[in-house]
Amino acid sequence: YAGRCRWFGWRGHEQPESNVTLAFTATVLGSPRIGPRRELKKAVESYWAGNLDASALESVGRDLRRRTWTELVDAGIDSVPVNTFSFYDQMLDTAVMLGALPERVSGIDSELDRYFAAARGTTTIAPLEMTKWFDTNYHYLVPEITPASRFTLNAAKVLGEVEEALALGVPARPVVIGPVTFLLLSKSDDRAPLDHLDDVVPLYAELLGLLADTGVKWVQIDEPALVADRTAAELEATRSVYDRLAALNHRPAILVASYFGDLGDALTALVETGVEGIAVDLVAGSLDHVVATPGIEGKHIAAGVIDGRNVWRSDLDGSLTALETLRDRAGSVAVSTSCSLLHVPYTLDGENGLDPALRSWLAFGSEKIREVATLATAVRSGHAAIGDQLAQSRAAAETRASDPRLHDNAIRARLAALTDSERSRTPAPDRRTAQDSELSLPKLPTTTIGSYPQTTAIRVARAALRKGEIGQAEYVRRMRAEIADVVALQEDLGLDVLVHGEPERNDMVQYFAEQFDGFFATANGWVQSYGSRCVRPPILYGDVRRPKPMTIEWISYAQSLTDKPVKAILTGPVTILAWSFVRDDQSLAESADQIALAIRDETADLETSGVRVIQVDEPALRELLPLRAADQSAYLDWAVGAFRLATSGVADTTAIHTHLCYSEFGDVIGAIAGLDADVTSIEAARSHMEVLDDLNAVGFDLGVGPGVYDIHSPRVPSVDEIAGSLRAALGAVPAERLWVNPDCGLKTRRRAEVESSLRNMVDAAHLVRAEH
Ligand code: GLN
Ligand code: ZN
């Protein structure tokens, strides 16, 4: 690294004259950390299992950080985010930095174990709650603030990583989550979250002094909470925080980073403070708004033109136009990503199975880093300096636009011809009569959400098929054995509506994406979802078609084994989109309708094969809800419309179920009624059935199965406990509409737990049934 040290020789302590001499030209807002081959996942899981010691884990982390920084520096990034590494989560890291871990972990001696206890819990300690990071698929841990919280600065992690980076000659820009976002995203059991600003801002001030001592020129303070709707008081508080921090005389230059949307009025508030720089998301946010904001001529703007959330290659011409417009207005401009690269896979290298055309349209993390550097070169030295790259970018855009797979005329004609009648069914009461006589179920019918435990046998069979050790026929034989087993179990338990158990599904989205035309799967496109958990989202690139039925064989096999109705399980259009990388050349609404049509065709085939109950899961309905209230009703309209398109093609006698989970449903409760599903099973065990009152408040009068026990815990609920939940539910819902089911699918549970829990659930249903 000797050469690099000289290269970045400005790491002295000379006082720069103005922002402009300080300003960097090319950066990213953050980096993935799970490891190009999921090294960190493997290491932390080995540590948890007791097979790796703390120092070995630390050294895996150090090695990953070095590789991340080296790649950035080598590509020409001249300000490198540091402290975006984490053993679990950046919000948890911030809680540690501010001394805000919950009291209940304080008895654990080792700092690392205390950290993991807060993240995952122990046999005796409950973990922090986890929830979605804005509208992404990343989940963060929700810090808890109580009257007992005593904030103190613990800067060891950030200072350590800064020292490590500086020692390697990296032009480090430490990144921390800002006080406004930290508090707004925390759970506060006493005052309004921002009432704690006076407790934490002095700690940030202290931190800035310590960072200045290290010699770093910039600090990045992330405030993504500012892209959601904020009250005038919150904006005022934000302004005052950054006035206070900017007024410190011993500190690095401050870059306040926003991402996932437009800053709106918060931009003016920030511009009026003394911070040197602001990072703006120009993919999800608006360039016009930034350009029109008075005062940006005094700021260094990190222009997020490269999409950190999606996988498409950038249109370099468009990005350059934006950058040049901004350069004419802002004090200075750096090319940046719209958000951290945490949300995209590491690299296209090694994706050898990808269709070459598709590959040329894509950019994962490494490719995006090079795009940033390329654009910075053009901003500095003119377009001619990147002539080759411009030509390649244009060529890729042209082949993409003209690829026939992106425009299937038959599908488009079908969609264009749709009328409202394809999105509506006979009124619900008439359907209920038809379904009652078709299915003749008892009162308080019992069912499950779809999946049964993913056994070792299932995993072994799937791996063997992938490696070619067994053929398709043997794989089918083994899956059928699993189905037969699960059907027999359900018969034995006395459940009323059975399922096949979903053994053949690796993942509820991937399973369908693999069978649709218009999706591609990656070999190694892993993205961190939370902690050590990674997902490999499929890429939606073209018009969606269902070449053949996807579920019929499995479901009809299950149905052949029993006289009870077997409920088929499909995944809904919104959830498929939410857990995929999506097209950026058409609206989500259009993509959703295409998927909905394919699912509708599947429901028709299921019906023909004799299936009388079909569940279309939409657990991610809440996930894609836009951050700003003004955008939410348009979203809910198309999301509900797509669900109805998918489910309105069946006869009145066919019962449509849906399943929702993972959220407080507050903002989407009206939409749930709009789905018009005959039965909705919904996560409720942890919220004490409150969701039923919320549903009543919006006039919901369809079937509902509030989860009667929490499947996220290995604990087996007693008959009394479940009966108690059912009686509570009957306070809100008449017996004719109430279904009995667990909270969610059972695939993560062990077989013995499932059997005991369901036995108690069925017993409780019988008990309460007898009372009605
Ligand atoms: N049918 C799916 C299952 O039972 C639903 C999963 C989910 O809600 N996330 O696993
Ligand atoms: Zn669920």
Cross-strand bridge partners of residue 82: 174
The string of pLDDT tens digits covering residues 561-615 is 999 999 999 999 999 999 999 999 999 999 999 999 999 999 999 999 999 999 9
Three-state DSSP at 581 gives strand
Measured CA to CA, the distance from residue 658 to residue 705 in angstroms comes to: 10
**Centre of ligand 2 from the C-alpha of residue 70, in Å:** 41
Check pocket membership of 44 for ligand 1, CB cut-off 6 A: no
The string of pLDDT tens digits covering residues 169-192 is 999 999 999 999 999 999 988 788
> Percent of the chain having pLDDT more than 90?
91
Q: Given a cut of 50, is residue 236 above it in pLDDT?
A: yes
Q: Given a cut of 60, is residue 672 above it in pLDDT?
A: yes
Check pocket membership of 660 for ligand 1, CB cut-off 6 A: no
| 9 — pLDDT class (breaks 50, 70, 90) | very low
**Centre of ligand 1 from the C-alpha of residue 277, in Å:** 44
The sign of the dihedral angle between the CA atoms of 160, 166, 167, 168 is positive
Q: Provide the pLDDT for residue 663.
A: 64
The string of pLDDT tens digits covering residues 437-467 is 999 999 999 999 999 999 999 999 999 999 9
The string of pLDDT tens digits covering residues 609-653 is 999 999 999 999 999 999 999 999 999 999 999 999 999 999 999
Q: Given a cut of 90, is residue 19 above it in pLDDT?
A: no
Q: Within a 10 A sphere around the Cβ of 50, how many other Cβ atoms?
A: 7
Ligand 1: nearest atom to the Cα of 619: 8
Judged by its nearest atom, the ligand closest to the C-alpha of residue 447 is 1
Reference 78, options 9, 16, 18; nearest CA is: 9
For a mutational test of ligand 1's pocket, the pick from 452, 508, 533, 683, i.e. the residue with the most ligand atoms closer than 8 A to its C-beta, is 508
Measured CA to CA, the distance from residue 336 to residue 334 in angstroms comes to: 6
- CB-based burial of residue 539 (10 Å sphere; 0-12 exposed, 13-18 middle, 19+ buried)? buried
Ligand 1: nearest atom to the Cα of 569: 1
| 2 — pLDDT class (breaks 50, 70, 90) | very low
Reference 664, options 694, 707, 708; nearest CA is: 694
Nearest CA to ligand 1 atom 5: 745
For a mutational test of ligand 1's pocket, the pick from 139, 451, 452, 555, i.e. the residue with the most ligand atoms closer than 8 A to its C-beta, is 451
Asked whether 164 and 214 are in contact (CB, 8 A), the reply is: no
**List of residues 6+ apart from 141 with CB closer than 8 A:** 88, 89, 91, 92, 95, 118, 119, 127, 128, 129, 130
Q: Given a cut of 60, is residue 18 above it in pLDDT?
A: no
Q: What is the pTM of this model?
A: 0.94
Q: Given a cut of 70, is residue 666 above it in pLDDT?
A: yes
The string of pLDDT tens digits covering residues 678-713 is 999 999 877 778 899 999 999 999 999 999 998 888
Measured CA to CA, the distance from residue 363 to residue 589 in angstroms comes to: 24
**Centre of ligand 1 from the C-alpha of residue 451, in Å:** 6
Ligand 1: nearest atom to the Cα of 449: 4
Q: Provide the pLDDT for residue 463.
A: 95
The string of pLDDT tens digits covering residues 356-377 is 999 999 999 999 999 999 999 9
Check pocket membership of 301 for ligand 1, CB cut-off 6 A: no
Q: Which long-range contacts (CB under 8 A, 24 or more apart) does 546-550 make?
A: 546/515, 546/516, 546/517, 546/598, 546/599, 546/601, 546/602, 547/515, 547/516, 547/517, 548/515, 549/602, 549/605, 550/511, 550/512, 550/515, 550/602
Nearest CA to ligand 1 atom 10: 745
Ligand 1: nearest atom to the Cα of 744: 8
Check pocket membership of 617 for ligand 1, CB cut-off 6 A: yes
Q: Which helix (H) or strand (E) holds 607?
A: helix 588-608
Check pocket membership of 646 for ligand 1, CB cut-off 6 A: no
Judged by its nearest atom, the ligand closest to the C-alpha of residue 551 is 1
Q: Provide the pLDDT for residue 710.
A: 87
Q: Given a cut of 90, is residue 662 above it in pLDDT?
A: no
Residue 534, annotated as binding a ligand: yes
Q: Provide the pLDDT for residue 439.
A: 96
Q: Given a cut of 60, is residue 7 above it in pLDDT?
A: no
Check pocket membership of 569 for ligand 1, CB cut-off 6 A: yes
Residues with a known catalytic role? 712
For a mutational test of ligand 1's pocket, the pick from 132, 139, 502, 662, i.e. the residue with the most ligand atoms closer than 8 A to its C-beta, is 502
Residue 736, annotated as binding a ligand: no
Question: Which amino acid makes up residue 576?
Answer: I
Check pocket membership of 284 for ligand 1, CB cut-off 6 A: no
> What would the DSSP string read from start to end of 632-692?
HHHHHHHHHHHHHHHHTTS-TTSEEEEEE-SS--GGGHHHHHHH--SEEEE--GGGTTHHH
**Centre of ligand 1 from the C-alpha of residue 467, in Å:** 27
Q: Given a cut of 60, is residue 555 above it in pLDDT?
A: yes
For a mutational test of ligand 1's pocket, the pick from 571, 621, 659, 661, i.e. the residue with the most ligand atoms closer than 8 A to its C-beta, is 659
Judged by its nearest atom, the ligand closest to the C-alpha of residue 661 is 2
Cross-strand bridge partners of residue 55: none
| Tokens (6 digits) for 376 | 């910075």
Judged by its nearest atom, the ligand closest to the C-alpha of residue 571 is 1
Check pocket membership of 449 for ligand 1, CB cut-off 6 A: yes
The sign of the dihedral angle between the CA atoms of 447, 450, 456, 458 is positive
Check pocket membership of 255 for ligand 1, CB cut-off 6 A: no
First and final CA of the chain: distance in angstroms?
A: 77
**Centre of ligand 1 from the C-alpha of residue 233, in Å:** 41
**Centre of ligand 1 from the C-alpha of residue 617, in Å:** 7
**Centre of ligand 2 from the C-alpha of residue 662, in Å:** 7
Least confident window among 127-131, 287-291, 548-552? 127-131
The string of pLDDT tens digits covering residues 29-66 is 999 999 999 999 999 999 999 999 999 999 999 999 99
Measured CA to CA, the distance from residue 461 to residue 554 in angstroms comes to: 16
Judged by its nearest atom, the ligand closest to the C-alpha of residue 705 is 2
Check pocket membership of 659 for ligand 1, CB cut-off 6 A: yes
Check pocket membership of 619 for ligand 1, CB cut-off 6 A: yes
Q: Provide the pLDDT for residue 191.
A: 83
Average pLDDT over all residues of the chain: 94
Q: Provide the pLDDT for residue 772.
A: 87
The string of pLDDT tens digits covering residues 286-318 is 999 999 999 999 999 999 999 999 999 999 999
Give this complex's ipTM. Answer: 0.99
